[in-house]
A and B are shown apart, each in its own frame.
Chain A
Amino acid sequence: MKEGNHDKLKHEFQGFYRILVLSCVIVALFSVAMIYLMVDPDLSSFKSTEPNTEMVSVPVEEDDDYDKVENGIHVRTGFIEAPGMMETVQNCTNCHSAKLVMQNRMNKERWKTTIKWMQETQNLWDLGENEDVIINYLVTNYPPKKKGRREVLTDIDWYELKD
């Protein structure tokens, strides 16, 4: 084999190698772009989202208390502040609203039955010593009201009817 031929072959091989590297780079870039499009078809990362994230200062009370009580009412739930309130908040407002508790006026026995029903069918946990605390809180602060067979109309909002 002559020296010249060898050089020529080497030269050709280098040229072929350059094309191979270049096409690999093109394929790789193309793949990255396609994968990106699959993940983010709207090219949302390239769209400016800056205006949407403009921060506006909003007054936030530094001492914002999660369990704040105002005028004898637990602000977050509406419960009357009295012994047993926090036990009631912690055990009775995870699944349902405090509104459901307050609008139901029951005696001790019926609350016991209701709690048992919630434990048997609604995944309520064992309340332990808190059960009596909660029931006492409820019958003291939300006692049943006597309504009779039909109540008189109250809270009538009088207005002049024009025709």
Chain B
Amino acid sequence: MQRRKFIGKAALASLASIVGADIVYGSKMSPNYIPLALQDPDPFKMFNKDKDMVVLNDKPWNMEAQAHLLDDRVTPNKYIFVRNNGLIPEEIDVKNWTLTIDGESVKQKKTYTLEELKSKFKQHTYQLTLECGGNGRSEFDPPAKGNQWTIGAVYCASWTGVRLRDVLEDVGIKDDAVYFGYHAADIHLSRDPSKEPISRGAPMAKALQDETILAFKMNGEDIPLTHGYPLRVIAGGWPASVSGKWLQRISIRNIVHDGTKMTGTAYRVPCKPVAPGEKVADEDMCIIESMPVKSLITYPKSGATISKGKKLNIRGHAWAGELEVAKMEYSIDFGSTWKTCKLEKPVNRLAWQHFSAEVDFPQEGYYEVWAKATDSNGFAQPMLLPGWNPKGYLNNACHRIAVKIA
């Protein structure tokens, strides 16, 4: 430990030489604060994550949960997946942090300090489901490019902030507004300052929803650094990439926002269904909006062995993008028969819903418990993989766990 401190000080000096500049306010740095570039490469410590989280990528950091880790009704930070497109901002000056609203469709450009945002507008707290558009990508065949998420890139935390709508009303928006796009403080992997790692957004209708907020708290505390401290957009039910972290600027556009990862094939699926492996031209790819209906069995952990005659209590969560989950079922015979689960209403719109059931097994042997959610429009999760797409998005196939009756 002592040695590490010593290294820290020496490294601070060498970092200054690498960066080619003095570390501004270096003398005012808290003795416990070590710049991110020098931090312990142990991501579990660095991001306060549980040791059972799975690291998919360390540059940029990408880490996912496992189904049984997501058992809490409101997901605590330690089980929340990390999806970074670039490098985490290295200097965050909260006192001077501002949010600027600009773009072709604002009546005037306006800048707010964090304090102004907090004091000027009413604060709201919602539980909102955020799922990575590529959650489940690992199952596609032929394989799709990108981080190979299995099932753990989803969570539902409690977010506190101000409505984007209230801020936009204060700024004044022109009638020709089409889309909002965010700009943030993260750094491109190539460290080219002219490039943004990601700059996405959503149509104005999503921007103006009650639950679309500019959040400064997660689960009642400051947002953790890797999840967007000190300010981020939260747009529940849509690919989590719409919920921009380390938010500095929102542009109100008179066109569909054309920032990084809005164009080409990013967060897009073929407008018309295609055969597995088929080539799709960029212009035939459509932007993903609401995420599809999906569910997870979070208890018990897959692999449970129970004795004959005992009932098994299962539970989990279900969500349906912009919609509500209307029905939840389970099957222990690979979909031949389905039984209904108890399903709770969401605590607020766009929060995941909790389900539970008591399962009886007819005899000893190997079983799989499959879970299937149906949304309020009557669309259910498929048991097989849904339509193949080049980037491997929107896999909402049923989740299952293995159970043995001995």
A interface residues, Cβ below 8 angstroms from B: 39-42, 44, 51-56, 58, 95-97, 99-100, 103-106, 110, 114, 122-123, 144-151, 153, 156-161, 163
Contact = CB atoms under 8 A, between A and B. Distances in A.
B311 to A, nearest CB: 9
Given A97-B59, A104-B146, A53 B6 contact: yes
Given A55-B3, A96-B57, A144 B143 contact: yes
Nearest to A158: B303
Contacts of A161: 300, 304-306, 312
B3 A100 contact: no
B141 A99 contact: no
Nearest to B312: A161
A150 B385 contact: yes
Given A44-B27, A153-B302, A161-B312, 19 more contacts: A52-B2, A52-B5, A55-B3, A95-B59, A95-B189, A95-B190, A96-B57, A99-B55, A105-B143, A123-B192, A123-B195, A150-B384, A151-B139, A157-B301, A157-B303, A159-B303, A160-B306, A161-B300, A161-B305
Contacts of A147: 139-141, 143
Interface of B: 2-3, 5-6, 9, 27, 55-60, 139-143, 145-148, 189-190, 192, 195, 300-306, 310, 312-313, 368, 383-385, 397, 400, 402, 404
Contact of A122 (B190, B304, B400, B402): B190
Contacts of A153: 302, 368, 400, 402
A42 B30 CA distance: 12
A99 B57 contact: yes
Contact of B58 (A55, A99, A114): A99
B58 A97 contact: yes
B384 A56 contact: no
A97 B57 contact: yes
18 contacts: A40-B27, A52-B6, A54-B6, A55-B6, A56-B2, A56-B3, A96-B57, A99-B55, A104-B146, A105-B143, A106-B145, A122-B190, A123-B192, A147-B143, A150-B384, A157-B303, A159-B305, A161-B305
The 4 A-B residue pairs with the shortest CB-CB distance, nearest first, are A147-B141, A161-B304, A123-B190, A97-B59
Contacts of A114: 145
Given A96-B60, A110-B145, A150 B2 contact: no
Contacts of A96: 57, 59-60, 189
A149 B384 CA distance: 6
Nearest to A146: B141
Contact of A150 (B139, B145, B195): B139
Q: Which among A40, A55, A110 has the highest number of chain B CB atoms within 10 Å? A: A110
A129 to B, nearest CB: 23
Contacts of A151: 139
Decide if the interface of chain A is mainly helix, strand, loop or mixed. loop
B84 to A, nearest CB: 11
Contacts of A158: 303, 305, 404
Contacts of A58: 3
A56 to B, nearest CB: 5
Contacts of B189: 95-96, 122
A53 B312 CA distance: 58
A161 to B, nearest CB: 4
A96 B27 CA distance: 32
Contacts of B143: 104-106, 144-145, 147
Contact of A103 (B56, B139, B402): B56
Given A42-B27, A99-B58, A149 B141 contact: yes
A30 to B, nearest CB: 22
Given A55-B3, A95-B189, A123-B190, A104 B385 contact: no
Contacts of B368: 153
Given A55-B3, A106-B145, A156 B303 contact: yes
Contacts of A40: 27
B234 to A, nearest CB: 27
Contacts of B9: 52-53
Contacts of A110: 145
Contacts of B55: 99
Contacts of A42: 27
A97 B305 CA distance: 38
Contacts of A149: 141, 384-385
